């Protein structure tokens, strides 16, 4: 049986050379090889191309490389969570390429599988697709994405045996599993190394043939950043809760549902076991339960796409980000409930970017908007300046075209029967006159 060398973090960091492309696993700081990244930050290695969902947090993980000026380009899905990444991009100090989260995961999986690239409907017709090859496949525009490989991959697993077989814990698979296949040199940071045979074959998530070196490093609360703990206190105004309740009424028993950040997260607080709804989170979990009541964090619990620790309900399952987005694009998600910045008369959605601000945080929105069987948008009816969010045509950068099925605001509920924006319901306390006055789009009235 193969025996994988066990080295220390300093030795591992020296294997990264100037100008290398480095893949870093993790979703936020969950499953993040933080000790390897910190060791790399102690070296003089520079001009790195960093590929990962996000560049750690401020001063943690990849955030230290940013602070040191070691990164020349970052490729990922959600850089907004690290203000240092935003500043670096705004100033032009670091080049960047933004990819939808599912596209990033699939590109890494393709690179690891020896596939040159693939076509995806995600991001078609958006700013992210500009400059990329497109093709009409089965009547739908699809965007070509090249497979991604790196020189070195730093990944994090919970256990390894001496043959390099890896086992991940809870939602810590995320990008790690695909990245383990997609680099010339793979170094796995693990909590525990056990003799070969102690990890049952059916519990091996990454076979040892993909792993070149092992590093043992113990995780601490400080390594988990913002996911280290969770506060149970939450104040919610009545109008937001009314929107969440109305969205819940659209779901039926057995539905697999993905909830976006903001108002949609409130739906999770309303779901009971009797509802029989299965919550999906794009970083790799089905069967998401409520936040822990003991204040515990990602050391003891999985995390959701908002990087918030959650509990696992009976029958839950974990998987990696590539499989998670295969569920989404493959239309295995019955409904997605997302926030919005604009929805227009043609059922187009804009919810990820505002002109004049850095376009650094698309996450999984584009994949979900295209892939969910039903898309429900919850948002306030107007902006803080009183301007309407339900508009004749979106002026903000599009997330996806013609995808919205239902819009729930604090004033009204709109649907799109026969592809026409239609007012079907008033929310508590709202009047028809108020809705007309605050909506710039033209709509049909079908109020029961």
Q: Cα(7)–Cα(9) distance, rounded to whole angstroms? A: 7
141 is catalytic: no
Instruction: List Cβ neighbours of 388 (8 Å cut-off, separation of 6 or more).
Output: 381, 382, 438, 439, 440, 441
Q: Closest Cα partner for 240 from 388, 378, 335, 342?
A: 378
Q: Taking a C-beta distance cutoff of 8 angstroms, is the pair 298, 228 a contact?
A: yes
Degrees to nearest 5, angle at CA 269 with 263 and 272: 135
Q: Closest Cα partner for 61 from 155, 167, 170?
A: 155
Q: Taking a C-beta distance cutoff of 8 angstroms, is the pair 268, 251 a contact?
A: no
Active-site position among 57, 282, 342, 345: 282
Map residue 333 onto helix, strand or coil.
coil
- Going 330 to 332 to 335 to 340, the CA torsion angle's sign is negative
Degrees to nearest 5, angle at CA 44 with 38 and 50: 60
Kind and range of the H or E element at 91?
A: helix 83-91
Map residue 422 onto helix, strand or coil.
strand
Helix/strand number for the chain, H first, E second: 11, 24
Structure tokens at 223: 């390594």
Q: Taking a C-beta distance cutoff of 8 angstroms, is the pair 102, 320 a contact?
A: no
Rg (CA), the chain: 22
Instruction: List Cβ neighbours of 437 (8 Å cut-off, separation of 6 or more).
Output: none
Kind and range of the H or E element at 12?
A: helix 9-13
Q: Cα(279)–Cα(271) distance, rounded to whole angstroms? A: 10
Report, as residue numbers or ranges, the catalytic residues: 282
């Amino acid at each position: 049986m193969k025996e994988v060398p066990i080295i220390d973090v300093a030795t591992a960091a020296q294997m990264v050379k100037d100008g290398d492309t480095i893949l870093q696993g993790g979703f936020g700081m969950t499953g993040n090889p933080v000790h390897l990244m910190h060791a790399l930050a102690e070296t003089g290695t520079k001009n790195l191309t960093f590929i990962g969902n996000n560049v750690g947090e401020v001063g943690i993980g990849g955030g230290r490389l940013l602070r040191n000026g070691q990164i020349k380009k970052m490729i990922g899905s959600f850089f907004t969570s690290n203000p240092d990444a935003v500043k670096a991009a705004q100033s032009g100090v670091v080049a960047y390429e933004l990819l939808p989260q599912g596209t990033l995961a699939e590109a890494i999986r393709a690179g690891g599988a020896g596939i040159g690239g693939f076509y995806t409907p995600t991001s078609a017709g958006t700013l992210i697709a500009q400059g990329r090859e497109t093709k009409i496949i089965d009547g739908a525009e699809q965007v070509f994405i090249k497979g991604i490989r790196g020189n070195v991959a730093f990944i994090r697993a919970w256990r390894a045996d001496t043959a390099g077989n890896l086992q991940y814990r809870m939602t810590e698979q995320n990008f790690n599993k695909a990245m383990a296949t997609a680099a010339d040199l793979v170094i796995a940071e693990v909590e525990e190394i056990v003799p070969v045979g102690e990890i049952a074959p059916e519990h091996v998530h990454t076979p040892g043939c993909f792993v070149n070196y092992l590093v043992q490093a113990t995780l601490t609360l400080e390594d988990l950043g913002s996911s280290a703990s969770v506060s149970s206190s939450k104040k919610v105004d009545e109008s937001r809760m009314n929107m969440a309740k109305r969205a819940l009424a659209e779901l039926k028993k057995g539905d697999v549902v993905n909830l976006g950040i903001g108002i949609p997260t409130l739906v999770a607080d309303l779901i009971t076991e009797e509802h029989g709804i299965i919550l999906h989170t794009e970083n790799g979990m089905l069967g998401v339960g409520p936040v822990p009541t003991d204040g515990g964090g990602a050391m003891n619990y999985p995390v959701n796409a908002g990087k918030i620790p959650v509990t696992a309900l009976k029958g839950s399952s974990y998987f990696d980000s590539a499989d998670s987005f295969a569920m989404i694009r493959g239309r295995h998600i019955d409904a997605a409930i997302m926030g919005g910045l604009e929805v227009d008369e043609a059922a187009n959605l804009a919810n990820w970017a505002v002109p004049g601000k850095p376009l650094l945080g698309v996450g999984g929105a584009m994949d979900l908007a295209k892939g969910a069987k039903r898309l429900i948008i919850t948002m306030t009816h107007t902006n803080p300046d009183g301007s309407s969010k339900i508009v004749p045509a979106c002026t903000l950068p599009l997330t996806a075209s013609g995808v919205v099925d239902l819009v729930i605001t604090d004033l009204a509920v709109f649907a799109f029967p026969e592809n026409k924006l239609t007012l079907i319901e008033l929310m508590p306390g709202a009047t028809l006159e108020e809705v007309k006055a605050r909506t710039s789009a033209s709509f049909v009235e079908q109020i029961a």
